[in-house]
A and B are shown apart, each in its own frame.
Chain A
C-alpha cells in the first residue's frame, strides 16, 4: 500500500444573515468551506494511478464487449455501449427501476473501455470515505477513482468514455455510478437544471428540497418523512430542472444512507427549497434569493468546482430558485414530519 486517497469535496456551511445595513467588513457571508476537488493531487490521477501521465485518452483502448444498455432518468436517456454481458447485467440489476426503452435516442452515450487492473494503486479503505479526483477543462471533464477513469466531452452534445478494470464484479458499479453522477450533472445543466445534494420529500404532490451539509439532517428528515408515510425521492441527490409546468424535481438513483426506495421516478413540481438547520424548535426563517442561490451552488457537485461552467450553474440556479418558496428550516431530529409538512404547506 503506497497511500490513501484524501477525502475532498464541497460542502454547504452555515450562513450568516445579510441585511443591507451591515458594514462592509461584515458583508461576506461564507456559505461553505471545504477543500477544492482539484488541488490535492499535484498530478491529476496520482491518488489512484501508478502512472497518471498515461491516463487514457479519448480513444485507443478496447471495448469490453458488444452489449448496450439504456437507462432513463432525469436528463436521459443515458446509453452505455461496449459492455461485456456481465457488466450489462450488473448495471441492469442496479438500475432496474430506470430501464430505458430500447431504440430510443440517448441524450448521452457512454463508451465502456478496458484498462488494466495493474494501472491502479491499491488501498486499504477500511474506515475511509472515498472521493474520486475530478478535473475540468473547457472541452471536457474527467474523473479518476479506485477502479475507473472517466472522461466527459462537453459540447453541444455530451459523450462519455469510462475505462474500467472490472468485468462487472466488485467495485464495477462504483465507476458506473460516479460517471453517471458527473454525466447527469452536466446534462441537467445543459437543460437549465442542476444536480443538488439534497433530500427531497413529496408533500401534497409537490417536492420539497432540503439542502445542508453532512450532519444537518437530510437523511434524518427523509427517514422521518418516510416513517410518516410521505414519498421520499432521494436523501442524497436530486435533479432540479425547468419545464413548462415550472421547476420540477426528479429522483435520481443515487440514494444516500436511506437506500434506494422503490419510489416513483416521475418528476414532481418543486414546492420549495430549504436549508436545514438543527434546532430545538420547528421554525421557518426567510432567506433571500441570492443566499439560496449560494446555498444551492455549494450543493451542486462537480459544477461548482468547474470554473468553465460555474457562470452557467449560477445562472441556472438563479432562474430555478427565483420564484419558489425558500427558507431556513430549523428542525429537531425527532420532530414528526407531519409538523414539518404542515409548516411547509402553510408557506405556499
Chain B
C-alpha cells in the first residue's frame, strides 16, 4: 500500500502524450502501450516528483467534483497499480 504522503514520478523508460483529454503512455521496458482516461491522465500529469498523492487527490476532487475521500482512495489505488506495472515509482515522501 502506498501512503497518501508518497510522491511519485514516472519511470525513466515511460513516454507519454496527451491526446484530447486522454493520455497514451508507452512503457518501453515492459513493451506496453496504455491509454489512460481523462481522470487518470490528470493524475499522471501531476506526477512531478514533488506533489504528494494527497495533494493530487485534492486537485482531482476539485476538478472532477468527487468527494475528497473517494478521490484519495482512487488516486492511491491507481498509483499503486502504476507502481506495480513499473510505470511509476515512489520518488519520496512529502513530509
Contacts and interface: CB of A to CB of B under 8 A. Distances in A.
Interface of A: 10, 12, 15, 18-20, 22-25, 27-37, 39, 288-291, 293-295, 297-298, 304-305, 307, 310-311, 314-315, 318
B68 to A, nearest CB: 14
Contacts of B23: 290
B2 interface: no
Given A294-B24, A315-B17, A28 B30 contact: no
Contact of A310 (B26, B35, B81): B26
A33 B36 CA distance: 16
A288 B29 contact: no
B32 A33 contact: yes
Contacts of B36: 27-29
B75 A24 contact: yes
Contacts of B3: none
Contact of B32 (A22, A30, A314): A30
B48 interface: no
A29 B44 CA distance: 14
Nearest to B14: A307
- A-B pairs, top 7 by smallest CB distance, nearest first, are A27-B40, A290-B22, A314-B17, A24-B78, A290-B19, A24-B74, A310-B15
B31 A294 contact: no
Nearest to A287: B35
Interface of B: 13, 15-17, 19-24, 26, 28-40, 43, 74-75, 77-78, 81-82, 85
B37 A22 contact: yes
Nearest to B42: A24
Contacts of A294: 24, 33-35
Contacts, number: 113
Contact of B35 (A25, A29, A33): A29
Contact of B74 (A23, A30, A288, A315): A23
Contacts of B26: 297, 304, 310, 314
B78 A27 contact: yes
Contacts of B40: 24, 27-28
Contacts of A20: 21, 37-39
B39 A24 contact: yes
Contacts of A307: 13, 15, 28
B81 to A, nearest CB: 6
Contacts of B75: 24
Nearest to A11: B31
A292 B67 CA distance: 32
A36 B53 CA distance: 30
Given A29-B36, A295-B33, 4 more contacts: A33-B30, A294-B34, A310-B26, A315-B17
A18 B29 contact: no
Given A25-B74, A28-B81, A314-B24, A18 B31 contact: no
Nearest to A304: B26
Nearest to B29: A36
A31 B31 contact: no
A28 B29 contact: no
B22 A18 contact: yes
Nearest to B26: A310
Contacts of A39: 29
Which of A18, A23, A39, A294 has the most chain B CB within a 10 Å cutoff? A294
Which of A24, A294, A297, A298 has the most chain B CB within a 10 Å cutoff? A24
B12 to A, nearest CB: 8
A107 to B, nearest CB: 26
Contacts of A33: 30-32
B6 to A, nearest CB: 15
